């Protein structure tokens, strides 16, 4: 199931806008408001097609709330009327109030909403090559090619090819590379960018004519595809001469239909991502994988898995939403087309597969599969060359879904330590596995369990602390250094940058102030844990003391 918020966000502000949210109200169908009839049922999004004034909007809102519907869609001015919005903000809760942009037809929005809702309830449908928006794009490309008698491609705003016409006879090397690689070549992009084509596409809905370019690039007619002022993509036609105005107008009509299909594809992709993220959150939090319909993609690939927490110390991507967008882009760029990413409790988590102990570090010269630990290490190495603040920390492998919450907690713990500066990142890669940092984790857990105030329990540190404060002595630091260097006076004195005889003298005076039996392993362990909790770690050299 999807919520009203998911549905509105997926279709975008160029079509719908939430005026009054309604929490996590779920949607499973769309209903048209019939005069005098009950307005919807629980789980339905009601469309106020004939409502144009305040009175009609208030009456329909009351009926919609009484029916328990998930939301109500209205156009201006009713959607923005202050009395209507006040009535929608019920203390006891009610349907969400959603505004439909004035330029959009109700028939179009019904088609879009039903398609997206059907996609959410049956995520295995609508794959490339099956009846649906993808195959419709190729039909529209053929229709555009027939209008102007020229080969056509349909591209998104990232210059990725979404569809192309069957005929590609009159073409150039750049068009061949575009279709084969499903993306416009970098050199061709540079040419069109320098010509200002993409700047005009982003700002205007007017057709663009581009003359012939270097390396055999033929002239092109570019028709922007826009909806609600938002640029969604474009139609590119290879033409050798200017196209008559009436045919350009016909292409504009094709572009309007194409805009609806691109909106639906984007919404379906957004819904699929939200559904996948919701399933992944449940797996990370509870260790339970959802039941899947026959033919649907598996929620997780074959294990074992590692849960990864992503972070940034560069100061530019602390927001989890921004970090999610960044890592989705990175994952796609490096070949992971269905990345397992989800935000949970303010952190961004991902699930990667663990190929086995022998392949943990990745064999030299062997490229790791996308979505594995070795792949992530390679991606971080490449990405940190441009953004050195990016890093990832991973919990121990989970060999069953029930172990995923444990790996999640470990990744969150490592992320917390890294953010606090108490865990050093691996040089170059920016990836830390729990096995690489277990000693720091054990110390931090013990430190947290011991607590900074345990020196008050009656041990010797309370007296040593008081002596240091009253007489300016460095007994706590000296004791910490002696414990850290296995009782070796030479090594401990070298660390403190004092003479070994000075260290021995301090130890004798320390034992005169507080009797200690440092031959006891348990006592040494307890003292070191208490000193760590107190923050006593010997520095290299000491400041002058009175």
The token duo for 313 is 């110390």
Dist CA 264 CA 207 (whole Å): 23
CATH, residue 25: 3.40.1390.20
Q: Based on the fold, state whether residues 101 and 175 are members of the same structural domain.
A: no
CATH, residue 521: 1.10.10.2840
Q: Based on the fold, state whether residues 470 and 399 are members of the same structural domain.
A: no
- Which of 155-164, 284-293, 394-403 has the weakest average pLDDT? 284-293
Q: Where are the alpha helices (DSSP H) in 68-210?
A: 82-88, 106-121, 133-148, 173-181, 186-194, 197-203
Comparison of pLDDT for 541 and 284, the residue scoring more: 284
The token duo for 373 is 């630990």
Q: Based on the fold, state whether residues 218 and 139 are members of the same structural domain.
A: yes
Burial of 116 (0-12, 13-18, 19+ CB in 10 A): buried
Dist CA 370 CA 332 (whole Å): 10
Residue ending a domain, among 396, 411, 436, is: 436
- Determine the 3-state secondary structure of 71 from DSSP: strand
Give percent of the chain above pLDDT 70: 83
Q: Positive or negative, the Cα torsion across 112, 115, 118, 119?
A: negative
Write phi, then psi, for 274 (nearest 5 degrees).
-70, -40
Q: What is the pLDDT of residues 513-533, one digit of tens each?
A: 888 877 888 888 888 888 887
pLDDT confidence band for 130 (50 / 70 / 90): very low
pLDDT, position 366: 44
Q: Based on the fold, state whether residues 8 and 45 are members of the same structural domain.
A: yes
Q: Based on the fold, state whether residues 88 and 163 are members of the same structural domain.
A: no
Strands 305-312 and 390-394: antiparallel
Q: Based on the fold, state whether residues 512 and 473 are members of the same structural domain.
A: yes
pLDDT confidence band for 74 (50 / 70 / 90): very high
Q: Based on the fold, state whether residues 463 and 419 are members of the same structural domain.
A: no
Q: Do the domain assignments include residue 286?
A: no
Strand 208-210: give its sheet, edge to edge: 161-164, 152-156, 230-238, 220-227, 208-210
Q: Based on the fold, state whether residues 316 and 431 are members of the same structural domain.
A: yes
pLDDT, position 543: 37
Dist CA 342 CA 307 (whole Å): 11
Question: What number of residues does the chain have?
Answer: 546
Given a cut of 50, whether residue 317 has pLDDT beyond it is no
- Determine the 3-state secondary structure of 150 from DSSP: coil
CATH, residue 144: 3.30.450.40
Q: Do the domain assignments include residue 494?
A: yes
- Which of 127-131, 329-333, 388-392 has the weakest average pLDDT? 127-131
Q: Which residue range(s) make up the domain with 235? A: 133-263
Q: What is the pLDDT of residues 10-59, one digit of tens each?
A: 777 777 888 988 777 788 888 888 665 667 788 888 888 888 889 989 98
**Averaged pLDDT, 125-132:** 39
Q: Do the domain assignments include residue 331?
A: yes
Dist CA 232 CA 266 (whole Å): 9
Q: Do the domain assignments include residue 390?
A: yes
The token duo for 67 is 């029916």
Number of domains in the chain: 4
Residue ending a domain, among 436, 466, 501, is: 436
Given a cut of 50, whether residue 350 has pLDDT beyond it is yes
**Inter-helix orientation angle 106-121/245-286, to 10°:** 30
Q: Based on the fold, state whether residues 184 and 217 are members of the same structural domain.
A: yes
Residue ending a domain, among 99, 121, 143, is: 121
Q: Do the domain assignments include residue 293?
A: no
- Specify the DSSP class assigned to residue 390: E
Given a cut of 90, whether residue 393 has pLDDT beyond it is yes
Given a cut of 80, whether residue 186 has pLDDT beyond it is no
CATH, residue 367: 3.30.70
Q: Which residues, in sequence order, are bridge partners of residue 235?
A: 154, 223
Q: Based on the fold, state whether residues 108 and 63 are members of the same structural domain.
A: yes
- Which of 153-167, 246-260, 347-361, 441-455 has the weakest average pLDDT? 347-361
Q: Do the domain assignments include residue 289?
A: no
């Amino acid at each position: 199931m999807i919520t009203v918020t998911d549905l509105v966000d997926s279709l975008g502000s160029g079509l719908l806008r939430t005026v009054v949210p309604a929490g996590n109200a779920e949607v499973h169908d769309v209903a048209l408001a019939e005069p005098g009839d009950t307005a919807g049922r629980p789980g339905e999004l009601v469309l106020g097609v004939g409502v144009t004034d305040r009175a009609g909007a208030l009456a329909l809102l009351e009926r919609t709330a009484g029916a328990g519907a998930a939301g109500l869609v209205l156009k201006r001015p009713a959607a923005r009327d202050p009395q209507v919005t006040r009535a929608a903000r019920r203390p006891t809760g009610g349907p969400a109030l959603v505004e439909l942009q004035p330029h959009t037809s109700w028939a179009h929005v019904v088609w879009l909403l039903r398609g997206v809702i059907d996609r959410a309830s049956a995520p295995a449908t609508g794959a490339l090559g099956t009846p649906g928006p993808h195959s419709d794009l190729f039909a529209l490309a053929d229709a555009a090619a027939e209008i102007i008698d020229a080969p056509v491609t349909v591209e998104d705003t990232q210059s990725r090819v979404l569809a192309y016409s069957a005929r590609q006879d009159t073409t150039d090397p750049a068009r061949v590379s575009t279709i084969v690689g499903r993306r416009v070549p970098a050199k061709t992009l540079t040419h069109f960018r320098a010509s200002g084509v993409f700047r005009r596409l982003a700002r205007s809905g007017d057709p663009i004519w581009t003359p012939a370019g270097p390396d055999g690039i033929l002239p092109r007619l570019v028709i922007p595809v826009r909806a609600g002022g938002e640029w969604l993509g474009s139609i590119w036609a290879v033409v050798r001469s200017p196209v008559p105005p009436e045919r350009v107008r016909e292409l504009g009509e094709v572009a309007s239909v194409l805009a609806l299909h691109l909106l639906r594809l984007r919404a379906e992709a957004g819904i699929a991502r939200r559904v996948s993220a919701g399933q992944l959150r449940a797996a990370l939090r509870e260790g339970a994988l959802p039941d899947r319909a026959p033919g649907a993609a598996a929620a997780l690939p074959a294990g074992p898995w590692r849960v990864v927490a992503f972070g940034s110390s560069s100061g530019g991507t602390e927001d989890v939403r921004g970090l999610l967008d960044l890592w989705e882009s990175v994952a796609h760029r490096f070949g992971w087309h269905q990345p397992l990413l989800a935000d949970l409790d303010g952190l961004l988590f991902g699930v990667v597969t663990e190929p086995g102990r022998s392949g943990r570090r990745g064999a030299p010269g062997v490229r790791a599969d996308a979505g594995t630990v070795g792949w992530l290490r390679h991606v971080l190495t490449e990405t940190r060359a441009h953004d050195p603040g990016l890093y990832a920390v991973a919990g121990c492998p989970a060999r069953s879904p029930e172990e995923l919450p444990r790996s999640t907690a470990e990744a969150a713990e490592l992320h917390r330590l890294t953010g606090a500066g108490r865990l050093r990142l691996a040089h170059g890669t920016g990836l830390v596995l729990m096995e690489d940092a277990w000693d720091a984790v054990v110390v931090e857990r013990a430190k947290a369990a011991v607590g900074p105030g345990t020196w008050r329990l009656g041990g010797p540190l309370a007296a040593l602390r008081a002596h240091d404060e009253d007489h300016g002595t460095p007994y706590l630091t000296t004791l910490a250094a002696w414990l850290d260097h296995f009782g070796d006076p030479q090594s401990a004195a070298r660390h403190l940058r004092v003479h070994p005889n000075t260290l021995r003298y301090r130890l004798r005076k320390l034992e005169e102030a507080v009797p200690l039996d440092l031959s006891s392993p348990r006592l040494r362990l307890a003292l070191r844990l208490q000193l760590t909790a107190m923050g006593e770690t010997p520095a290299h050299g000491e400041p002058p003391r009175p």
